[in-house]
Structure 1
Amino acid sequence: MFLNTFTVSALHAAVAFLFAVNQHSARAGKDTHTYKTGEDVVVWTDKVGPYNNPQETYEYSILGLCELEGEDIAVQQGELSIGETLEGHAFFSSPRLDIHFGQNKAHTQLCSMILTEEKAKALAGMINDNYWYQLYIDDLPIWAFVGEHSKFALDVSRFSMMYRDNNRSLQIPSSGSAPPVPKHLKGKPLPRIYTHRHFTLFYNNDQIIEVDMEPSSPWPIYGGAPLNLSYTVQWFATNNEFKDRTNRYLDPKFFEHKVHWFSIVNSFMLCLFLCAVVAIILMKTLKRDFTRYSASEAEELENLDGVGDESGWKQVNGDVFRKPDHLAIFTVVYASGCHLACTVFIVLIFAICNSYYASRGATAGSFVIAYLCTVIVGGYEGGRIFRMFGGQHWKRTMVYQCLFMPGIAFISFVVINTTAIFYRATMTVPFKTIFIILVLFLAVCVPLHTVGTLLGRRAAAERSFPCRVHHLKRPIPTKHWAFTPIMTMVAGIVPFGCLFIEMYFILSAVWSHNKIYYVYGFMFAILVLLCLVIVCVSITCTYILLNAEDYRWQWQSYISCAATALYVFLYTIHYFYNSTQMSGFLQTVYYFGTSLNFCIGLALFCGSLGFIGASKFVFLIYSNIKAE
């Protein structure tokens, strides 16, 4: 009784801690987001990278512009949360952008520089690769391209005129004509960098509601070219409220399109129909089986249909609860799936309540915290199943359970992070963040998992199987070699039918710049629907297997449902080659490494849920028969 009360209290404490942490991370920042007229508004530079590779991002300083260079300025580095670090942010202030709340600013020089051959070549390559960059003002993002392609040859006379006009508007002393263009570049199209930024900001009382920036004044790139960077600032009042300021970044035409709604409804109807059909078939079949198996000897003699019936699921009642092969491995993958399922549901519930899309790193950070707090669930289920089936060396198995998913994540992290370090990308996770996660794992995960395992073992000691397990194994009838593979593949494709439409929207949001996934309600509904389908599929496969007098239902129910992840991974490959223009080793490693991790997690989730459904079904039918 005390242990059960402790379990409930621990779960409540974990949820309360998660809620408190998420409430903190859901805020836009430590600032109050209120300004006085004339107060400084900091512009934060974030990351820059090729448009076609969303995760291949670098620090803003790689552009080599004079904006962040010089001994006369003090560039501040922004503090990052765990979630922001995992998302690859890198904040540095841009002190030359002197913006004050509510005060317009005319055409102002930012800085000037002469491009060296090396910088010109690097900038030209970035512009040709469609590099974009990201800024933040009051935690509101701004995106812009570094420059533009030029399809026309450089007009030297017009270029000289632009040079004089630009210097005159910035009040820069000029010798009159532009520096000479190299002979080998005359008459050729040159990439151009935007040298002017026009900031438009909207405010409501003392809060910033909306920010925008329009780059202009493209300037040709070549060695020795002068760059005079400038900016203007204009403020406007608005009646929009602060709580609605992130709505402009959402894309309701894409995520709430009629096709999306129609597809969701279709999936619901299809899956509900499948659940109803499976339920009816199983109920009728089981009713007939119960009637036949529960009949007395006299009734069997009178009923000709019952004579000689020595096949069916009852025949394996002495083996159906036999310990599955490789129990330690089965327990590890099952416990990991239960842990992950609990984590996902908690994160989704809090995401729906707190609108995580409105805050940087909130989803990633909450997932880390939820994983730490729900590890007790995985420990409980692992300890319960391992003792229920009479496993040995439970302490060693407990260690395997605790390290399994972190081990997979660590292997993929080493590959991705090493690649990011080699490319000097912002997705590189610093040692400080790694150390914090490691300390949290040792201080939270290990004790909670141990407590959960002990509670699970105690719960298993108080429960017994409905049927006694025979000492001698019953021989399994020979089946066609394709029986198990076909059943597994068919069972896996049915849940995938509920997922693939939503997978398109999720992948579009994750692997693009201009889409933010915010319809968490859709995802939660699809997840609930997926759970129902998986349970029905698992029960059907288990019943077919037991009718074939094969009592190895534990692994089969798990693998049949986990096969859904294989179809999802194949779909991610299709999406990579047909719906994106990603290229390069770094982006490819990140895409397939992340996709593989996601599919492994999905396999654990679906497999564990399938085993739970099959287990409830097997316990139910064998507790209602007369076993010899």
Structure 2
Amino acid sequence: MAADYRIRTMSWALLLLCLQTVQAFYIPGWSIKSYSDGEPIPLFVNKVYSDNTQLQYAYSELPFVCPPSGRQRPGTGLISGSNVALNLGEVLRGDRIMVSDYELEMGKDEEVHYLCAHEVDRAGLQRAKEVVKNGYVAEWIVDNLPGATSFVTVDKSRKYYAAGFKMGFGETSIVTGQPTYFLNNHVTVAIRWHRAPGRDGRHGKKVIVGFEVYAKSIEAGNRAAGGIPIDLQSPPGFELTMAKNVTNTTMARDNDSSYVLQEFDDGAEDAKLTIPYTYSVYFREEEHIEWANRWDLYFVNQEDSNKIHWLGIINSVVISGLLTAVVAVILARTIHGDIKGYKEGLEEGKLRLTKRSRGTRSPRKSFEKGGLLEQVDGDSSSVADDMSSEDEIPEEITGWKLVHGDVFRSPAFGHLLAPLIGSGMQLVFMATGLIALSCFGVLNPSFRGGFISVGFALFILAGAFSGYFSARVYKTFGGTQWRTNAIVSATLFPGLLFSTIFLLNLFVWAQASSTAIPLGTLFGLVALWLLTQLPLVYMGSWYGFVKAGAYSHPIKANVIPRQIPQQTWYSRNAQAALLAGLVPFAIIFIELMFVFRSLWQDKSGYYYMPGFLAVVSTILILVVMETTVIAVYIQLCNENYHWWWQSFFIGGASSLWIFAYCVYYFFNHLHITGMASTMLFFAYAFLACSVYGLLTGTIGFLTAYGFVRRIYGAIKVD
């Protein structure tokens, strides 16, 4: 039995490793957009974000950038300054996409093009300094590709993209020793194109396979007529200061589109700083990249870390293999041997009695019909009398078999555990669907906001599963008010999420950040919660409670609870959960580093390693199940039958270690400043760890429940 169990486990592991070797494809978009020469290409501005803060801002709402002109864009059907409709995921991730005034035409190069000269007051100047000081990066979009800055790998063999471009840079003044900040007011846009596939390609049409943006700071002076800078190669930068522009006159645009010199007094309250904006456009053919592979450049840096990913998988497989061996020993040798010896003793009538002190607890209840110690050969009443008088128990009955009459006793606060299990099953369904859709390429970075949108939809639809499992577990615990349980299941965990996000929004709204969820979106989320999820949970609860009913147990619980002996330090609830939680944390630790880097440092949200994520997630589930089985078995051997809540805590205990790692990561790898950003980081970390803990805790609970039913069902005597 042990050999078969190990063979099956290793077969699954090999299958997962084989699946990982298959490249997970992705769908870069719903349809290919091809362009003819001279056809206009819309450029959208989105937001600015930074590694040093969790606050994002809409690019078009910054007070120092060119405001939209509102002009009609011929050939596109778009109007400058109009907002693009966003899905739920885009709104929740802080996207605010707007049509810009940048004019791009397929195949038409522009060495330099004037955009606008925008005046800012002191408040706008200070805002620009803050954006540059905090290292904000701007995100623009062309043909669903985010603007990127290109780099080369360490060995200079491949090029890769880093999404976004810097809004400016800072230097330390040689004269004063104080920091000075320069704004990038000129961008060079490089559009990489490839011949369109199929019939469009034969007609000379092209597809966009790369969108690169290179920003530069150019002084306000030394410009030709029309505001065009004379020097584009190595000009002095545009310093964000009023004082400099008192001595260096700036360019301003009057009503007849000519340019005049404009001086101002820095001491005046209404002093203005005029910022000229220009841009260049170049189109270049890219022969080696096709449209279907155009997102690959965003993932080259992740692919270079494949060796580390494989190291993490090997580490996970080794740990999982060791745990599998331990579980196999428990199931095949210890428990199987105990059950076999017990049944043989019953058949031969060889159950011997021995004196063993159990305090004031009398074991006579163990002889109830259907109980573990029921004597089937001879007069059981005489044996019971002897045992009750001498406080004796059968010599063969030790460890986990002693608590057979209490192991299925309903736990304390079962009315709270049942809704948690229901919500956990809801998250299991959602996570499984997201990973599967990612592996099949449906969810990918080109589907902006798709991961959040689809995840939210799956969570809502899985409300029926939540109600079903919650109701059945609730009825198993002896509950009768299934309607109340349904409402609690539908509001407990979603209510925690919504209340936390709402409180965070109060702080983010004050910062005028695009990270804040709009009020209309909040009302929409509440409507989906109460008008869609709640009825689904209610219907699932009705079916689970009324139709399916409670789960059956092989052994009935005794009337009088058994006294639990003093536990060793490592088997106590808190210590056991913390020790058991270390093992799953070790499984996902390496992959966790890449996820954290994508979420908190790169900020691009372009972590896309679905194959590795699926393999690590599968191994994680197996390890959580095996760890829970081992911990519950040790607990039962110590005659502690309070395993219901403990199995849930053991399964989700690794979330505590993940949160501790979040704290370590914050202080050692991040440079986040400000109370609002710090609060956002820890609130998001808490919510993410809560979701993970609820999901893995539910897996641990269901595994322990199946394990306990199996072993005690095997020793039941009919």
- C-alpha contact 1:332 1:401 (8 A) present in aligned 2: yes
Q: Which residue is 2:350 aligned to?
A: 300
Q: Which residue is 2:132 aligned to?
A: 127
Residue 511 of structure 1 aligns to a residue in which SS? helix
Matches within 5 A, 1:240-319: 240-253=289-302, 256-294=305-343, 295-296=345-346, 298=348, 300=350, 308-319=395-406
Alpha-carbon separation, structure 1, partners of 2:38 and 2:416: 64
- C-alpha contact 2:473 2:550 (8 A) present in aligned 1: no
- C-alpha contact 2:424 2:695 (8 A) present in aligned 1: yes
Q: Which residue is 2:662 aligned to?
A: 572
- C-alpha contact 1:153 1:189 (8 A) present in aligned 2: no
Alpha-carbon separation, structure 2, partners of 1:438 and 1:238: 47
Are 1:494 and 2:515 counterparts? Answer: no
For 1:243, the aligned partner's letter is A
Q: Which residue is 2:422 aligned to?
A: 335
* Cα deviation 1:488-529 (Å, max 9, x = unaligned): 221111111112111111111111235621111211111111
Change (3 A) 1:498 1:325: same
Alpha-carbon separation, structure 1, partners of 2:675 and 2:29: 34
For 2:529, the aligned partner's letter is F
Alpha-carbon separation, structure 2, partners of 1:536 and 1:358: 37
Are 1:86 and 2:55 counterparts? Answer: no
How far off its partner does 1:303 sit?
11
Bigger share in helix: 1
For 2:434, the aligned partner's letter is V
Change (3 A) 1:113 1:268: same
Change (3 A) 1:189 1:286: closer
Matches within 5 A, 1:105-504: 105-142=110-147, 143-152=164-173, 190-204=180-194, 205-216=205-216, 217=218, 218-223=237-242, 224=245, 225-239=273-287, 240-253=289-302, 256-294=305-343, 295-296=345-346, 298=348, 300=350, 308-353=395-440, 354-458=442-546, 460-461=548-549, 463-480=551-568, 483-484=571-572, 485-504=574-593
- C-alpha contact 1:117 1:222 (8 A) present in aligned 2: no
For 1:150, the aligned partner's letter is E
For 1:44, the aligned partner's letter is F
Change (3 A) 1:468 1:232: same
How far off its partner does 1:614 sit?
0.8
How far off its partner does 1:470 sit?
2.2
> Percent identity over the alignment?
25
Mind listing any 5+ residue stretches in structure 1 that lack a counterpart? Answer: 1-24, 155-184
Change (3 A) 1:71 1:364: closer
- C-alpha contact 2:472 2:550 (8 A) present in aligned 1: no
* Cα deviation 1:429-463 (Å, max 9, x = unaligned): 11232233233333431222122212222464375
Alpha-carbon separation, structure 2, partners of 1:297 and 1:71: 91
Change (3 A) 1:124 1:308: closer
For 2:193, the aligned partner's letter is Y
Alpha-carbon separation, structure 2, partners of 1:515 and 1:393: 44
Change (3 A) 1:486 1:131: closer
Change (3 A) 1:314 1:51: closer
- C-alpha contact 1:130 1:146 (8 A) present in aligned 2: yes
For 1:601, the aligned partner's letter is V
Alpha-carbon separation, structure 1, partners of 2:422 and 2:515: 30
* Cα deviation 1:352-399 (Å, max 9, x = unaligned): 112422221011111101101112111111111111222121211111
- C-alpha contact 1:387 1:460 (8 A) present in aligned 2: no
Q: Which residue is 1:545 aligned to?
A: 635
Alpha-carbon separation, structure 2, partners of 1:549 and 1:573: 37
Alpha-carbon separation, structure 2, partners of 1:304 and 1:298: 18
Alpha-carbon separation, structure 1, partners of 2:530 and 2:353: 65
Are 1:590 and 2:680 counterparts? Answer: yes
Residue 552 of structure 2 aligns to a residue in which SS? coil
Alpha-carbon separation, structure 1, partners of 2:557 and 2:340: 24
Alpha-carbon separation, structure 1, partners of 2:605 and 2:430: 25
For 2:562, the aligned partner's letter is R
Alpha-carbon separation, structure 1, partners of 2:502 and 2:526: 14
Matches within 5 A, 1:97-112: 97-112=102-117
- C-alpha contact 1:339 1:378 (8 A) present in aligned 2: yes
Mind listing any 5+ residue stretches in structure 2 that lack a counterpart? Answer: 1-25, 73-79, 148-163, 195-204, 219-236, 246-272, 356-392
Alpha-carbon separation, structure 2, partners of 1:592 and 1:462: 39
Alpha-carbon separation, structure 1, partners of 2:62 and 2:523: 31
- C-alpha contact 1:67 1:94 (8 A) present in aligned 2: no
Q: Which residue is 1:506 aligned to?
A: 595
Change (3 A) 1:493 1:343: same
Alpha-carbon separation, structure 2, partners of 1:334 and 1:40: 54
Q: Which residue is 2:39 aligned to?
A: 39
How far off its partner does 1:34 sit?
3.0
- C-alpha contact 1:199 1:213 (8 A) present in aligned 2: yes
Residue 391 of structure 1 aligns to a residue in which SS? coil
Q: Normalising by structure 2, report the TM-score.
A: 0.75
2:715 to 611, 625, 628: 625
- C-alpha contact 2:472 2:548 (8 A) present in aligned 1: yes
Q: Normalising by structure 1, report the TM-score.
A: 0.85
Of 247-256 and 612-621, deviating more is 247-256
- C-alpha contact 1:499 1:530 (8 A) present in aligned 2: yes
How far off its partner does 1:151 sit?
3.6
Alpha-carbon separation, structure 2, partners of 1:113 and 1:442: 47
Q: Which residue is 1:57 aligned to?
A: 56
Change (3 A) 1:110 1:59: same
